């Protein structure tokens, strides 16, 4: 077999792996990106799944966290100015519809949101919302730098936070559940449910201890940075990263799955592909795949600390995943809840009582399917390039456990029945969604998610659960949280590392910083 050699090999062409690769290529290194599947992007892709001209996102669709990343804010790789990446930002961020078609409307503008809260809930909660956003914004300002660079070790982070009142308030929020945090600020349960419903989109139960962190950070974040709808589809980000990589001379190979990472004298020397081909890495190998694939499949136990495989096996997944329907629509949904909901970036459904909201997540934990709390995104309201003139694309999803009561192997048999129940809920709350307006749909159940992406083990698009004990400098493990591994020259990026899942490019940029540090490259000069 032919033996190729590169400075840096990146395993996995998700958006984080490609981000790390792009920084390294810009630094003048000879970079090769290896992808097991037939296309680039991982969970950040766009495909014509519902007919010609209908550009659908089968995984991620809203780009939120990346809006604050210096990658975009300072255009560090030229993705915007040189390669044409463009985002649209809805003025109405999201809406939450209750069973009686009353709703919560969240605007990009905080004052408009407060006015809506005063009208729909109470003047007291409207005032509390504005104060909450100001309070949480102070913590967000402190934590933002840790989202796109290596997070300080947990003890150091908490010691830093303990130096100020704002920092101590941040610690308080991080250690609560989302619902506990909301109980401290608001009186109307429907408002609490609406805010918790949105925060749960990180695929995390807002009743879990530690979920307060997501709500605390997300609420001021979306008002400040908005929700990004990438023009051309979620995969547009990857397309621009690919253009950047090729412009800097990088090699990108699909259908090139890695069988094992080669190690000699405690240091990686390259990889062996599933085809038997070996590729040499002169300076580094970066894994963007699931940490369980990396340490349990691609590396021999003898190259690792004795206890590491056990610690990796015990890493926890989320108790529920995602069930999606990708749709081609003759027209955009018209909700009974009103015109403002029609123009929302995301429309979510939720129970109206605390008891039912808690029961919903408890049912998911028990492996039950709940089709009555979906969310809908109609991307073409903001980006008409994704569909033929006058038509629309829809992304309808709900949470669903991989391990259902009937057994995970039953998902393919029951997916259409479940999809029809979810769709029926949407139809009941709109005036126009029916068989005549839905031109085509593609169903993606949790097992299909796993089949589409080998890194999404058991349908887990975030690789690991978003628990507090697997977050920040404890992701994936406290001793290996700074993108390095026990093997010399071997690094990690992707959803298994901080800041976790979602489209943030956070770990992609942070891993590039660590690589630059270890390889003697001035990162600040690189991005200046």
Residue 363 contacts residue 471 (beta carbons within 8 Å): no
Q: Using CA atoms, how far apart are residues 259 and 83, in angstroms rounded to an integer?
A: 33
Torsion of CA 273, 278, 280, 281, to 10 degrees: 10
Q: What is the pLDDT of residues 155-181, one digit of tens each?
A: 999 999 999 999 999 999 999 999 999
Distance of CA 229 to the CA centre of its chain: 14
Residue 453 contacts residue 257 (beta carbons within 8 Å): no
Q: DSSP strand E in 411-464: where?
A: 438-444
Selection from 232, 266, 187, 184 nearest residue 54 by Cα: 232
Residue 305: cis peptide before it, omega within 30 degrees of 0: no
Q: Using CA atoms, how far apart are residues 339 and 384, in angstroms rounded to an integer?
A: 19
Q: Using CA atoms, how far apart are residues 7 and 283, in angstroms rounded to an integer?
A: 5
Give whole-number Cα distances, 418 to 95, 320, 370, 398, 459, in Å.
24, 15, 9, 10, 17
Residue 476: cis peptide before it, omega within 30 degrees of 0: yes
H or E, element range at 9: strand 4-11
Q: Using CA atoms, how far apart are residues 33 and 39, in angstroms rounded to an integer?
A: 12
Burial of 321 (0-12, 13-18, 19+ CB in 10 A): buried
Residue 385 contacts residue 307 (beta carbons within 8 Å): no
Residue 314 contacts residue 464 (beta carbons within 8 Å): no
Q: What count of Cα atoms within 13 Å lies in the side-chain half-sphere of residue 113?
A: 28
**pTM across the whole model:** 0.97
The 10 Å Cβ neighbour count of residue 159 is: 12
Residue 262: cis peptide before it, omega within 30 degrees of 0: no
pLDDT tens for each residue of the chain, 528 residues long: 455 899 999 999 999 999 999 999 999 999 999 999 999 999 999 999 999 999 999 999 999 999 999 999 999 999 999 999 999 999 999 999 999 999 999 999 999 999 999 999 999 999 999 999 999 999 999 999 999 999 999 999 999 999 999 999 999 999 999 999 999 999 999 999 999 999 999 999 999 999 999 999 999 999 999 999 999 999 999 999 999 999 999 999 999 999 999 999 999 999 999 999 999 999 999 999 999 999 999 999 999 999 999 999 999 999 999 999 999 999 999 999 999 999 999 999 999 999 999 999 999 999 999 999 999 999 999 999 999 999 999 999 999 999 999 999 999 999 999 999 999 999 999 999 999 999 999 999 999 999 999 999 999 999 999 999 999 999 999 999 899 999 999 999 999 999 999 999 999 999 999 999 999 999 999 999
Give whole-number Cα distances, 252 to 2, 237, 243, 255, in Å.
17, 16, 11, 10
Q: Using CA atoms, how far apart are residues 134 and 185, in angstroms rounded to an integer?
A: 12
Selection from 11, 471, 79, 6 nearest residue 274 by Cα: 11
The token pair that represents 94 in the structure block: 């999201």
Residues linked to residue 444 through DSSP beta bridges, in sequence order: 324
Distance of CA 1 to the CA centre of its chain: 38
The token pair that represents 509 in the structure block: 């940029």
Model pLDDT, residue 495: 97
Q: Using CA atoms, how far apart are residues 357 and 191, in angstroms rounded to an integer?
A: 12
Q: What count of Cα atoms within 13 Å lies in the side-chain half-sphere of residue 436?
A: 2
Model pLDDT, residue 97: 98
For 118-161, give the DSSP string: HHHT-HHHHHHHHHHHHHHHHHHHHHGGGGSSPPPPHHHHHHHH
Model pLDDT, residue 1: 43
Q: Using CA atoms, how far apart are residues 94 and 198, in angstroms rounded to an integer?
A: 8
* CATH, domain 4-48+57-86+231-316+465-527, list 3.30.70.100, 3.50.50.60, 2.60.120.1270, 3.40.50.2000: 3.50.50.60
Largest Cα–Cα distance in the chain?
72
The structural domains of the chain, with segments of one domain joined by +, span 4-48+57-86+231-316+465-527
Residues linked to residue 286 through DSSP beta bridges, in sequence order: 10, 491
The 10 Å Cβ neighbour count of residue 255 is: 13
Q: Are strands 31-34 and 103-107 parallel, antiparallel or unpaired?
A: unpaired
């Amino acid at each position: 077999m032919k033996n190729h050699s590169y400075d840096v090999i990146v395993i996995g062409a998700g958006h984080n792996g490609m981000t790390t690769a792009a920084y390294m290529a810009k630094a003048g290194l000879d970079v090769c990106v290896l992808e097991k599947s037939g296309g680039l992007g991982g969970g950040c892709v766009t495909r014509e799944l519902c007919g010609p001209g209908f550009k659908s996102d089968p995984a991620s669709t809203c780009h939120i966290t990346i809006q604050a990343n210096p990658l975009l804010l300072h255009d560090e790789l030229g993705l915007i100015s040189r390669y044409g990446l463009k985002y649209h930002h809805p003025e109405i961020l999201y809406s939450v519809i209750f069973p009686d078609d009353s709703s919560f409307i969240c605007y990009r503008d905080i004052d408009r949101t407060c006015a809506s809260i005063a009208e729909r809930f109470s003047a007291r909660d409207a005032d509390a919302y504005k104060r909450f956003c100001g309070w949480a914004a102070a913590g967000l300002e402190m934590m933002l730098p840790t989202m796109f660079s290596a997070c300080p070790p947990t003890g150091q982070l908490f010691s830093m936070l303990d130096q100020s009142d704002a920092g101590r308030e941040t610690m308080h929020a991080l250690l609560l559940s989302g619902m506990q945090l909301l109980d401290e600020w608001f009186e109307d349960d429907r408002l609490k449910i609406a805010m918790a419903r949105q925060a749960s989109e990180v695929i995390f139960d807002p009743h879990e201890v530690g979920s307060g962190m997501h709500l605390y950070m997300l609420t001021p974040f979306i008002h400040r940075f908005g929700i990004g709808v990438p023009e051309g589809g979620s995969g547009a980000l990857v397309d621009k990263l690919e253009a950047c990589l090729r412009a800097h001379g990088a090699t990108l190979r699909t259908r090139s799955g890695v069988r094992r990472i080669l190690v000699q004298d405690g240091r990686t020397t390259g990889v062996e592909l599933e085809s038997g081909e070996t590729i040499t890495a002169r300076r580094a190998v970066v894994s963007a795949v699931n940490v369980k694939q990396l340490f349990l499949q691609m590396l021999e136990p003898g190259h690792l600390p004795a206890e590491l495989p056990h610690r990796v096996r015990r890493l926890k997944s989320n108790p529920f995943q995602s069930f999606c329907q990708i749709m081609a629509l003759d027209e955009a949904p018209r909700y009974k809840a009103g015109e403002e909901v029609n123009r929302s970036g995301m429309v979510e459904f939720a129970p109206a009582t605390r008891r039912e909201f808690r029961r919903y997540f408890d049912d998911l934990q028990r492996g039950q399917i709940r089709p009555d709390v979906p969310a809908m995104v109609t991307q073409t309201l903001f980006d008409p390039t994704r569909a033929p003139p006058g038509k629309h694309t829809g992304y309808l999803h709900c949470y669903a456990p991989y391990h259902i009561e009937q057994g995970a192997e039953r998902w393919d048999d029951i997916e259409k029945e479940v999809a029809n129940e979810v769709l029926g809920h949407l139809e009941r709350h709109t005036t126009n969604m029916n068989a005549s307006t839905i031109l085509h749909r593609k169903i993606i159940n949790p097992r299909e998610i796993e089949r589409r992406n080998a890194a999404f083990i058991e349908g887990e698009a975030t690789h690991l659960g978003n628990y507090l004990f697997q977050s920040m400098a404890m992701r994936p493990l406290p001793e290996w949280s700074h993108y390095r591994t026990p093997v010399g020259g071997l690094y990690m990026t992707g959803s298994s590392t901080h800041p976790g899942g979602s489209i943030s490019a956070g770990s992609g940029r942070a891993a590039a910083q660590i690589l630059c540090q270890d390889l003697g490259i001035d990162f600040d000069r690189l991005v200046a």
